[in-house]
Amino acid sequence: MDYLVGLLLLVLTTAVINNFVFHFFVGICPYIGVSRRLDTALGMGLAVTFVMAVAAALSWGITYALLRPDAPLALAVCRLFAPGTASVDLSVLKYLVYIFLIASAVQFVEMYLRKVFPPLYKAFGVFLPLITTNCCILFACLEIGSDRRMSGGAEAWDLAQALAYAVAAGLGFTLAIVIMAGIREELDHADVPQALRGPAIVLIIAGILAMAFLGFAGVDAGVARLFGR
Amino acid sequence: MLVMMMLAAAALLVLALVSGAVLGWANRAFHVEVDPRIEAIAGVLPGANCGGCGFIGCGDYAAAVVNQGAPVNKCTVGGASCAAAVARIMGVEAKESWPARPVVHCRATLEDRLLRAEYRGEQTCAAANVVSGVQGCTYGCLGLGDCARACSYGALRIVRGLAEVDYEKCVGCGACARACPRHILTMVPFKAERMVVIACSNRDFGKDVRNVCKVGCLGCKACEKAMGSLFKVVDNLPRIDYEAYSGDPDVAPALQKCPSKTIVRVGKPSPRDLEATRDQKVPGEIPPDPRSSVDRTSWRG
């Protein structure tokens, strides 16, 4: 029960309070580029959620086994060649490995969808390959693979929590981009000063939205109290 | 230290090999048969993904040509050579394609439009169009410039309350025609540098048109009687069949008969026109008059 409440709080915190777009300002390029229309924005958000979940599972596994300090697999291989090795740390490889993982995962998912779910593949269209270079996926992987999430302390995550984090982050991104697309569709009818047209006004609106989302700060504490934590 | 470095390199190598193998296997296992013609057509299309053909992008258009039998001459960017290349791949004859350019089907400037009321609402055509009584003519140009704002190429401007197209700058993307709430701007296939068009959109009877406009078409059918091959009056408004249109037809008989001079030529000026106006003094270009955006955006209600 306590575990489930923790999961719920994690989802709430990640999706709304520490929203990737409004709190961390990652994933801004698709946020500005694909928020022109509501349906494409929703498509992009769901594609990001999907890829982020896949990438999170993969990166959690690799980090757990290989990349974190004193990872079992790395230690075993090391001891095979240099018996008596006390500790091993491959953390420096994180960026490289994660980018590599994301790119291959996206490629794989694309091929799989094309064969098995052609309608979904058509719906995702150009967004899936675009996500390969999306920084919010890398951000999620880095957070999941960070030392405090991996070192076995109080803040450490298991696979389920990492997955919940990724899905919640993706849904938060979807929420943010859909809100922005709705605003931008209405913005077409507004008389925006020439100098502010396009990305400029979008960034300003994103800033106002971020301030509005500040209002969610503290909600997690309230929910935690609700469950008696 | 050396072991660590070796381990790092080995880890990356193994990772690369594994994902390479997985992707290679997936490529074969999940192989989808694609008509090779689709890729060939996508190759000869410009790849601008402009959507001018009416499909989402060049890839979508290529698929539509092969699977749904879409016309091969839809690409306005690639033009005739592109249409010919696509036709060669599909093994069909290419019909010649013409660049589409917007035409303003209204020639009434502010002083020609009667029964105008002061309009203080949002200064866009889309907003003014839903308010009744802005001006007498419910078909004519509102002159608030939605088309000019929609144009990314600066090819439209509002002169004395009427939209004007600069055909030197226009690329034919059709954004203005989509923006116009009254559909006064339509895309016409420009089969010549200058085209004969109907500069009125009012479908009412002549008397009602006269009540609201000094220059509107009366629907008198004089043009149809003079040149029935070119003009056809439907709903009190002459239509030109651009499918049958060719070259630069001599519309003098119809022009002479037209009481309200609704039949006009638009497009780039012909050498003859330039010759005729060579001695006339043309007013110089008026320099831009920059103003604070506040002037235009401030609420005036």
| Per-residue pLDDT of chain B in tens (301 residues, 90 and over written 9) | 787 888 889 889 999 999 999 999 998 888 887 788 888 888 888 877 766 777 777 888 888 888 888 888 777 777 777 888 888 888 776 666 677 888 999 999 888 888 888 888 888 888 888 888 888 888 889 989 888 888 888 888 888 889 989 888 887 778 888 889 998 998 888 888 788 888 999 888 888 898 899 898 888 888 888 888 888 888 888 888 887 787 777 777 888 888 888 888 887 766 666 677 677 666 555 555 555 555 555 455 4
User: CB–CB of B23 and A125 under 8 A?
Assistant: no
CA dihedral (B238, B241, B244, B247) positive or negative: positive
Residue A118 Cα, gap to closest chain B Cα (Å): 10
pLDDT 10s digits, A70-116: 888 888 888 888 887 778 888 889 999 999 899 998 888 888 888 88
More confident residue, A216 or B297: A216
Query: Which residues partner with B265 through β-bridges?
Result: B196
Residue B121: count of CB within 10 angstroms of its CB: 14
Which token pair is B76? 């306005």
Q: Please tell me the distance from the alpha carbon of residue A219 to that of residue A61, in angstroms, as a whole number.
A: 31
User: CB–CB of B122 and A108 under 8 A?
Assistant: no
User: How many Cβ pairs within 8 Å bridge chains A and B?
Assistant: 71
pLDDT 10s digits, A49-63: 988 999 999 999 999
Which of B1, B2, B3 best tests the A interface by mutation, with the highest count of A CBs <10 A?
A: B3
Residue B292 Cα, gap to closest chain A Cα (Å): 9
List the CATH code of the domain at B100-276: 3.30.70.20
* Size (chain B), residues: 301
Question: Minimal Cα distance from A87: which residue of B?
Answer: B4
Confidence of residue A205 (pLDDT cuts 50, 70, 90): very high
- Please give the CATH architecture assigned to the domain spanning B36-90: Orthogonal Bundle (1.10)
Residue A127 Cα, gap to closest chain B Cα (Å): 13
Q: Is B246 helix (H, G, I), strand (E, B) or coil?
A: coil
Q: What is the pLDDT of residue B301?
A: 45
User: CB–CB of B22 and A93 under 8 A?
Assistant: no
Confidence of residue A69 (pLDDT cuts 50, 70, 90): confident
Residue B110 Cα, gap to closest chain A Cα (Å): 22
pLDDT 10s digits, A3-46: 899 899 999 999 999 999 999 999 888 888 888 888 888 888 88
Domain boundaries, chain B: 36-90, 100-276
- Could you tell me if B23 lies within 8 Å of chain A, comparing CB atoms? yes
Question: Minimal Cα distance from A106: which residue of B?
Answer: B23
Only one residue has tokens 């696979």, namely A159
Question: Minimal Cα distance from B6: which residue of A?
Answer: A78
Tell me the Ramachandran region of residue B91: left when phi exceeds 0, alpha when psi lies from -120 to 50, beta otherwise.
Answer: left
pLDDT 10s digits, A135-161: 899 999 999 999 888 887 788 899 999
* pTM assigned to the model: 0.59
The two counts, helices (H) then strands (E), for chain A are: 12, 0
Which residues on chain A place their C-beta less than 8 Å from a C-beta of chain B?
62, 66, 74, 77-78, 81-82, 85, 88-90, 92-93, 96-97, 100-101, 104, 107-108, 111-112, 114-116, 118, 125-126, 189, 191-195
